Amino acid sequence: MAPIIALGLALLISCSNNSVQKNTQEAQTIQQQLPFEKIAKSDEEWRKQLSEDEYRITRQKGTERAFTGEYWDNKAPGTYICRCCDLPLFASDTKFKSGTGWPSFYQAIQAPNVGEISDNSYGMRRIEVICNRCDAHLGHVFDDGPKPTGLRYCINSASLKFLEKK
């Protein structure tokens, strides 16, 4: 029985290493294709720039309570940008009322601006959405949104700043 367990562990480790290597290669390929430079700051720099709540959400993958964020019910025309690096992320004309209590969009302003990462935390299978320039946690994307994409980008208000169209 012990050799079977050892073999299983060896296969698991091998698959995990291959998966990590593949993800690293994919991340490097994506980075080479991005139309902007990545922004990297220390935790100390992020803490100086962000409020405690903004830091918890954007840098530590937190979330805000439903129906409490600044933009969940915002109907003004404009652009939603990354709280951390000001990269344009979502346009107000792709925002819709999802009933979830978080700002929801059916598509990003430009595909390269947002990244997606598999998130299996809390016993759930979800897709995390990040800002591709500074790696800020934005929220999650689900496949229960409206046409034309069928996507619902469920985003924390604390991850965003809003530039109203005048």
Question: Tens digits of per-residue pLDDT, 88-146?
Answer: 999 999 999 999 999 999 999 999 999 999 988 878 889 999 999 999 999 999 999 99
Domain spans, the chain: 1-33, 38-164
Q: Where are the beta strands (DSSP E) in the chain?
A: 78-82, 88-91, 95-96, 104-105, 114-119, 126-131, 137-142, 152-155, 160-164
pLDDT over threshold 80, residue 17: no
At residue 33, the pLDDT reads 66
Active site (annotated) includes residue 131: no
At residue 9, the pLDDT reads 39
14/1 Cα distance (integer angstroms): 20
**What's the CATH class of domain 38-164?**
mainly beta
pLDDT tens for 43-85 read: 999 999 999 999 999 999 999 999 999 999 999 999 999 999 9
Q: Give the model's confidence band at 21: pLDDT under 50 very low, under 70 low, under 90 confident, else very high.
A: very low
pLDDT top residue among 33 and 106: 106
pLDDT over threshold 50, residue 155: yes
Task: Catalytic residue, from 82, 84, 131, 154: name it.
Answer: 154
Q: pTM of the full predicted structure? A: 0.79
pLDDT over threshold 60, residue 25: no
